[in-house]
Amino acid sequence: MNRQNNMDLEEIKNQLYVAVLSDVLDQMGYTQQATRITFHAYTGIPKLIGRCKTTLWADMYDVDKNPYELELQAVDSCKPGDILIAAAGGSNRSGIWGELLATAARNSGCQGVIVHGAVRDIDKMRDMKFPVFATSKNPYDSANRQRVIDLDVTVEIDGVKFSPGDIVMADEDGIVVVPKEIEAEVIKAALAKVSAENITRDAIKNGMKATEAYLKFGVL
């Protein structure tokens, strides 16, 4: 499976979810691919899938001579189907993502944003129906408080590595990253697991004991 187009990922989104992808990755030996910290779907859109477009952020305490420089570059270089990843170390020093960045990102084809840190302008982004997953909210502007120090590099959030082009999915359970070098195998196995889970669920609904169902179908 080469780089999927947006329609393919949308089809996957309708069939899969974070927990099943995490299970499959676990079974393949990739045991650190899903976050454990709490992200909130601040604009009310509970599910998101796309390709990682990464930014690395740092707190700052001096006057920024080139405010917004790299974050604007990142937003303008998004491609259709990308999800902008803002790895800000969970900082609540400012709201690093808001309405204007969301508008520019959408114009570039960005599917949404995942922020390990704070966001603002939530009501306006909700009106835009722009998917936003973040760990906090904060009304302060990022100028002279936080800035992007690198982009299109591997970043880490809660021990999970996000590399440019990897598939990332977010839902109410958390966030999972599927490395691009194994994505075909993972997606195939996850679809098979969902099918097996549906069969197991139906059997239990029809009266089969959980132990018997597990022994028969091998899915839990």
Rg (CA), the chain: 19
CA–CA separation, 124 vs 112, rounded Å?
14
Amino acid at 180: K
Per the structure, the complete domain to which residue 105 belongs is given by 6-180
Phi, psi for residue 111 in degrees, rounded to 5? -80, -25
| Residue ranges at the known binding site | 98-101, 120-121
- The tens digit of pLDDT for each residue in 30-57 reads 999 999 999 999 999 999 999 999 999 9
Phi and psi of 100, rounded to 5°?
A: -70, -40
Residues of the binding site for substrate: 98-101, 120
**Over residues 91-108, mean pLDDT:** 97
Domain for residue 216, yes or no? Answer: no
Whether 170 has a pLDDT exceeding 80, the answer reads yes
The answer to whether the Cα torsion of 102, 106, 108, 112 is positive or negative is positive
Strands 167-171 and 155-157: unpaired
Q: For residue 1, what pLDDT band results from cuts at 50, 70 and 90?
A: very low
Contact 78, 105 (CB under 8 A): yes
* Residue at 198 is within a domain: no
SS3 112: strand
Residue 96 domain-assigned? yes
Mean pLDDT of the chain: 91
Distance of alpha carbon 218 from alpha carbon 21, whole angstroms = 17
Q: Is residue 144 part of a domain?
A: yes
What is the rounded average pLDDT of the residues 161-173?
98
Q: Where would I find the beta strands (DSSP E) of 17-97?
A: 40-41, 48-59, 82-97
Kind and range of the H or E run holding 26:
helix 18-27
Count the domains in the chain: 1
Pick out the residues of the known binding site for Mg(2+).
121
Q: Is 141 among the domain residues?
A: yes
Q: Which of the four pLDDT bands, split at 50, 70 and 90, describes residue 173?
A: very high
Please name the residue that has the structure tokens 């936080």: 146
**Complete DSSP assignment for 74-89:** HHHT--TTEEEEEEEE
CATH code assigned at 127: 3.50.30.40
Residue 139 lies in a domain: yes
* Range 132-158 average pLDDT: 98
* pLDDT over 90 at 157, yes or no: yes
| pLDDT interval class at 218 (50, 70, 90) | low
Determine the pLDDT at residue 85: 98
Least confident range of 1-10, 89-98, 145-154: 1-10
In a domain, 148, yes or no: yes
Residue 206 pLDDT > 80? no
Whether residue 212 lies inside any domain: the answer is: no
